[in-house]
Amino acid sequence: MISASHIVLDKSYLQGCTSLNLEEMSRQHRLILCAETFHEVVSSPDDEMKSCMKKLLAYTTSVDLLDHHGTLLKYEIENRQPCKPLSAHILPLTLNPEWNHTISEPQSETITDFHNHWEVDSPKAFDEIVLEIIGTCGRITPEQVASDREMVLKTYGHLRASERLPLPSHLNEDWAIYRRLQVELIAAHEYMYSFQDGQFCIRKDRKAHNQIDFRVLIAACLAGGIATRDNLIRRYFEILCPGGTLYWIEGHRP
Q: How many residues does the chain have?
A: 254
What is the rounded distance in angstroms from the CA atom of residue 31 to the CA atom of residue 62? Answer: 6
Query: What pLDDT was estimated at residue 101?
Result: 61
Amino acid at 130: V
Higher pLDDT, 85 or 161: 85
Lowest mean pLDDT among 39-48, 55-64, 105-114: 105-114
**pLDDT surpassing 70 at residue 72:** yes
What is the rounded distance in angstroms from the CA atom of residue 225 to the CA atom of residue 244? Answer: 5
- Reduced to 3 states (helix: H, G, I; strand: E, B; else coil), residue 30 is strand
Query: What pLDDT was estimated at residue 215?
Result: 93
**pLDDT surpassing 70 at residue 183:** yes
Torsion-angle region of 247 (φ positive above 0: left; ψ -120 to 50: alpha; else: beta): beta
Express each pLDDT in 2-16 by its tens digit: 457 899 999 999 999
Closest CA to 10 of 191, 163, 196, 232: 232
Query: What pLDDT was estimated at residue 121?
Result: 36
Query: What pLDDT was estimated at residue 210?
Result: 78
Point out which residues pair with 199 in neighbouring strands: 196
Express each pLDDT in 100-138 by its tens digit: 666 555 555 554 555 444 433 344 466 677 777 777 877
Res. 203 pLDDT band, cuts 50 70 90:
low
Report if pTM > 0.75: yes
